[in-house]
Structure 1
Amino acid sequence: MKLKAFKTFLCTAATLGVLAFTGSQAQAFQVGGWNYTIDSFNDGTEWDAQNRRLVVGQNSDFEFFGMAFRVLEDRVVFAINSNLSLNGYDLNGARNNKISYGDLVLNFTNTASFNAAQSNLFAIRFDSTNDTNVRVVTETQTVDSRGRVRTTRTTQISPLGLYGGVTTTSLTSVNSGFSSHQQHATEVAKVGGFASLGDLAANNSYFGYNTAAQTNMKSGNYLGGINMLAAADLTGLGLNFGQFNATGNYTFGFSVDRSLLPVGDFIASLFAECGNDGIVMAGSTAVPEPTTMAGTAIAAGLMYARRRKKQEA
């Protein structure tokens, strides 16, 4: 499940360009400092009310193509490529008449069991249109002209940012969604798709196949803000989903202060609030050593070999 297990083969294959993507299977790669998880391209579902049929895959507004992260000296950057807009999907009958992204949940505590890590999870709320409802109280102290300390309390509902001590909940039932991962996978298969969760199979013990997708925070403690990043910002940092044929309509991301997160292995999970698609990514917040960048090393080795051949000729 860890990225370390994939590095040598997958990064080599990505660098040499020998893998073809069919969209029927998930893959993990490390290229240019970014760690990518590429999901199935055929498991995002959308109900076509006009033709009364289930649409699956790249024509669905809920198709998730990939997720990536990069550890920098002072921050961790996450990026998402998907057909779902940050403005959400308008649907009468859904809570708030809109279906949005859930929260990005980070599990550093128990990478074998999501449920066992409850209350010790981290989460990032990055979509201001979603249904997360966590009350955050902040205190500000001021000193008046007589030297008296006055405390002002301000209450906010779910400001964007990083949270710790998180518990989660499923909001699929109030957003016209699937009752379980199994139901989603079954319906996807009926229309010729293949369900996966990025670095995990759809049928996995981490969540439980018969449970509903855990989409949003239920409770948590606000730790700090995030910086939202547009596609151009991420391209400037070397992000390139296109090299994996991940061509969703939207690419965006956000960064968080690295000091606010533990150093170590994590599993990140993200679902649409309806559970129509989701993606799971395994990674680590430790800064990778230059020698682990296998793709760069291989490319440099090939260039050196070619130059040497020419010299010998």
Structure 2
Amino acid sequence: MLCQKTIRLLLGLLTASFGFISTSVQPAHAGSLLGEWYYTVDSFNDGLSLGVGSNNSPYEIYGMAMKETANEITFAINTNLPAEGISNIYAQDFHVAWGDLLLNFTGKSLDVANAASQLFGVHWAVNASGVPELGVYQNVTAKAVAQENGLLLQDASLRGYNNRVISKGGNPSHGDLGVINDYFNENHYVQNVIAAGTKIGAVNVLSDLSNLGLDFAHFGATGSQTLAFSFARNLLPDGNFIAHLSPECDNDLIAMVGKLKTNEQPPRSVPESSTLLPLGMIAMLFAASRQQRRR
């Protein structure tokens, strides 16, 4: 027979167990789902130029979106920066292009995965990349080319960029990761182009976006340019990832926390231990209450 003290203890454990069940189920994606697209929205005033923000910076990134089907993955970017880049007198070649899209499925920080050549990369624009052809790459090592492309800060680092944006009245953010995170190393510029890797497939840079069903404006993202590219779904693994993208100069940066799941096997309907535990407690409490009533 269970005493009142034991029953109270079991009730407390039961409540805690249900609390664990509810809080441990987290969304698979940190962005927002609208239609077939996952959207990640960035700060609208963290691109630097003569001033800061959407009205003053041609580098401003407003948002990034991803759509996954059984055969294809498509990424889209809403921004002020055209696909071909822009002229910049401070860049060594007087031109700033887009960087490569870099994806990390390892669960490790960017520096750790990069040092182990464990990144995937999409070389979708002509830039200072170390690979010769547009396409999708695996076993990627990436590099930062911000300084040679005109981001000439005294503190040549992500921290220096964030501080400069703040000093100009802007609000720095890195998409889903925010400005404070353990993924990017603030002590140097963020790696933004492929240095080396193995090509595994082609990329298709899209010119007609009218039938894609994109709606960046729903999130207030109203950059002058919307760019998109796609590639075969089977070029990337299943699972959680962090993807990031920036211009060559690292002037504005967006990161997406996402999950690819088209090719995942459906889960088997096996009760988890966290579910069985409360059910056992309920049976014990029911038996105890019956004995209490008999007394």
Query: 1-side partners of 2:147 and 2:85: how far apart?
Result: 17
More strand by share: 1
1:258 matched to 2:254? The reply is no
Aligned partner (choices 259, 269, 282) of residue 244 of structure 2 = 269
Within-5 A mapping of 1:183-222: 183-222=160-199
Give the residue type in structure 1 aligned to 2:39.
Answer: Y
Give the Cα–Cα distance (whole angstroms) in 2 for the partners of residues 89 and 57 of structure 1: 16
Range moving further from structure 2, 54-63 or 274-283: 54-63
TM-score between both structures, scaled by the size of structure 2:
0.75
Q: Secondary structure at the match of 1:79?
A: strand
| Equivalent-residue separation in structure 2 for 1:7 and 1:167 (angstroms) | 27
Give ranges in structure 2 of 5+ residues lacking alignment: 1-24, 265-295
Match of 2:86? 89
Query: Does 2:136 align with 1:133?
Result: no
Counterpart in the other structure of 1:246: 221
1:95/1:223 CA distance change after superposition, 3 Å: farther
The CA RMSD over aligned residues, in Å, is 2.0
What is the percent sequence identity of the aligned residues?
Answer: 38
In structure 1, distance between residues paired with 2:149 and 2:238: 35
* 1:169 paired to 2:151: no
Equivalences, count: 235
Decide whether the 8 Å contact of 1:227 with 1:254 is kept in 2: yes
TM-score normalised per structure 1: 0.71
2:261 is aligned to 286
Query: 2: distance between equivalents of 1:211 and 1:93?
Result: 19
Deviation readout 1:168-216 (Å, 9 max, x if unpaired) = 1111111111521111111111121100000112232211222211111
**Equivalent of 1:29 in 29, 32, 40:** 32
Mean CA deviation greater in 280-289 or 37-46: 280-289
What SS does structure 2 have at the residue aligned with 1:183? Answer: helix
Shift of 1:80: 0.5
Which AA in structure 2 matches 1:207?
Answer: F
Equivalent position amino acid for 1:30 in 2:
L
Q: Distance in 2 between matches of 1:221 and 1:68?
A: 25
Amino acid in the other structure paired with 2:234: S
2:42 matched residue in structure 1: 39
Alignment-derived partner of residue 267 in structure 2: none
Task: Give unmatched runs, 5+ long, in structure 1.
Answer: 9-26, 49-53, 135-157, 290-313
Question: How many Å separate the matches in 1 of 2:181 and 2:231?
Answer: 29
Which structure's CA Rg is the greater one? 2
2:112 partner SS: helix
1:116 correspondence with 2:94: no
C-alpha displacement of 1:95: 3.2
Distance in 1 (alpha carbons) for counterparts of 2:40 and 2:26: 13
Give the letter aligned to residue 220 of structure 2: N
* CA shift for structure 1 position 33: 1.5
Q: Which residue of 1 aligns with 2:134?
A: 160
> CA–CA distance in 1 between the matches of 2:44 and 2:35?
23
Q: State the 1:287 CA deviation.
A: 2.8
